[in-house]
Structure 1
Amino acid sequence: MPAYFVTGTDTDAGKTLASAGLLARARREGLTTLGLKPIASGSETTPDGLRNADALALQAESVPAVDYTTINPYAFAPAIAPHLAARRAGVEVRLADLTGWLRPLLALERDLTLVEGAGGWRVPLNDDEDLAELALAMELPVILVVGLRLGCLSHARLTAEAITASGLRLAGWIGSLVDPGLSFDAAADDALYQDNLATLARTLPAPCLGVIPRLAADAPAAMAAAAADHLELPDAH
């Protein structure tokens, strides 16, 4: 099973929950796993240095275990666009540095390796490069996480078009019910929800790997396990 790059339709689309859920599903099937977060903003200061909650969730689902700096080489405190957070910290994140970090990790050949992006597909790394170029440089197939909220149909289709136009394979998509304003309790709301999913299934050029419902807030490991119940692993071919 090859490595995959996980991107989203937007910030807070549910990438980490989907990634952790896929890793948990793989672990459940007895596979080795590795979840990576190249660059993360919105990190907290700890005695061990800056730590990002999303990266920690991926680390917890990585077996055999690896240290935090392996998972997340660039962590920044401000919860802003990563390239702006890096600039405030006086750090320049270059594509060459990220490919140099990632290449030996892919050589570990875990049964499932996920590289989670930041924000959407074309989030900048610096003034000249963006994170999508990491997926391109490493020729990683892409998993798209669609935040199921108003506007997601256009966001999902545009992102899928950009991924396929770059020459990368869209290996699958995952729906994530992230909007607390959408309840889908009434029959009419549920019908609309199902219609949206049907539109995504019809228009996105890749299989649906699952739809994660709104989960009760819990410890990251419990949420990953709950998400795993709704996901299928991507086809390696």
Structure 2
Amino acid sequence: MSVYFVTGTDTDAGKTLVTGGLLHAARRQQRSTLGLKPIASGSQTTPEGLRNSDALALQQQSVPPVAYATVNPFTFAPAIAPHLAALEAGQPLKISAIVSVLRETLAQTSREFTLIEGAGGWRVPLNEQEDFADLAIALELPVILVVGLKLGCLNHARLTAEAIRADGLVLAGWAGSIVDPAFAFNPARFAANIAHLNAKLAAPCIGIIPHLDAPNAATAAPYLSLEPL
């Protein structure tokens, strides 16, 4: 069983697109899959309860199927930082409780390829003392970094990679997602930026997703590779 933690350089860097794409690619290889989004804010009220669009996307790529609560056990309505959403809901988050739920899920729902997606970036807080980095550290997981390709991403990517390694975890690979088409407008400059990331991140690039007209797991999968992982 392969399990990875997925983080990003920022909010809307393309984490769910990459996570879903990798799960979809694994499904094409006839591998069992599980996508988890343990904590999600910005959820909609439905007859079945609160539902987060990112978590639903990962649920769709989990085969055999799993219940929504398995994918997203901690969900909140406001589209704000998770620790604030949790406090407003009267359900403060603690790493120990989150880790306990995830370990039980991983033990009871063993799959060949599992991805656990964070929210926002590496240091997004879960409470006043703990953040998403502490979650990956507690589970001792290798990390996949999603770089939202836009102006400023080189700095964000390098700082995040340095933080991951400083926390004692392995950066297993990185994927780029073009969130600003202008960033790739000049092919020579774009190639130079990707070369810089490859050199400085010192981890295999598992794919570069272009700016897609219809971004989803199926359209992203062809641009990603599981082989380096």
| TM value normalised by structure 2 | 0.96
Match of 1:203 in 2: 200
Q: Secondary structure at the match of 1:90?
A: coil
1:105 is displaced (CA, Å) by 2.1
Matched residue count: 228
Equivalent residues in 2 for 1:1-237 (5 A)?
Answer: 1-107=1-107, 108-182=109-183, 184=185, 189-217=186-214, 223-233=216-226, 235-236=228-229
Give me the CA root mean square deviation. Answer: 1.2
- Is the Cα–Cα contact under 8 Å of residues 86 and 92 in structure 2 kept in the other structure? yes
Q: How far 1:91 sits from its partner (Å)?
A: 1.1
1:234 positional shift: 5.3
Identity over aligned residues, as a percent? 64
> 2:5 aligns to what SS in structure 1?
strand
Check 1:183–1:208 CA distance in 2 against 1; reply closer, same or farther (3 A cut). closer
CA distance in 1, matches of 2:228, 2:33: 16
- Secondary structure of 1:144's aligned partner: strand
Query: Match for 1:91: what amino acid?
Result: Q
The structural deviation recorded for 1:217 is 2.7
Listed one character per residue, the Cα deviations across residues 15-44 of structure 1 (whole Å, up to 9, x for unaligned) are 000000000000000000000001111111
Q: What is the CA distance between 1:183 and its match in structure 2? A: 5.7
TM-score (norm 1): 0.93
- Consecutive unaligned residues of structure 2, counting only runs of 5 or more, are none
The residue type paired with residue 129 of structure 2 is D
CA contact (8 A) 2:9 2:160 kept: yes
Tell me, in whole angstroms, the C-alpha distance in 2 between the residues paired with 1:71 and 1:9: 22
Name the SS of the counterpart of 1:172 in structure 2: strand
Distance 1:181 1:42 in 2: 28
Could you list the runs of 5+ residues in structure 1 that have no partner in the other structure? none
Alignment check: 8 A CA contact 2:183 2:190 kept: no
Shift in CA distance, 234/133, structure 1 to aligned 2, threshold 3 Å:
farther
CA contact (8 A) 1:23 1:33 kept: yes
